Amino acid sequence: MAFRYTGFMRNAGVEMDDIDVKYARKCQFVVASGIFDGYDIPHQPSNIRFRSKKLFCLLMVVDEKSLHFIKQNISVREDSDGGKWVGIWRLATLHHLPYDEPRWNGKIPKIFPKAKYSIWIGAYC
């Protein structure tokens, strides 16, 4: 069986887009956060040095409802690989979330097995 980047088995429930899985596998240092249920937009960190931008992957994990909300409210850039970006944040879309409660779904994407270090930033930590 093939395992997904999030630590879940493929076709076993929660899925991340393949382009996001490919991107996340390259990340050694991850700063991650999440937006679920379309309640917010990604806020940009301040005072980020050029070296930090190259060293860290900033992943914003979102559900489909939040992605739609974000696209309606701010500009989302798409790179040559099809990855979606809001400023410095790479949007990683999750599909088939198991819970109706956004706080519970927020617990799912905190597993980054390929990263040496990961930091999760969230209101419900």
CA distance linking residue 75 with residue 114, whole number of Å: 30
CA distance linking residue 32 with residue 57, whole number of Å: 8
Mean pLDDT of the chain: 82
> Over 80: is that where the pLDDT of 124 sits?
no
pLDDT per residue as tens digits for the range 27-49 = 999 999 989 889 899 999 889 89
Structure tokens at 33: 């956060």
The predicted pLDDT at position 125 comes to 45
The fraction of the chain above a pLDDT of 70, given in percent, is 79
Predicted structure pTM score: 0.80
> Over 80: is that where the pLDDT of 107 sits?
no
Residue boundaries of the structural domains of the chain: 29-39+53-120
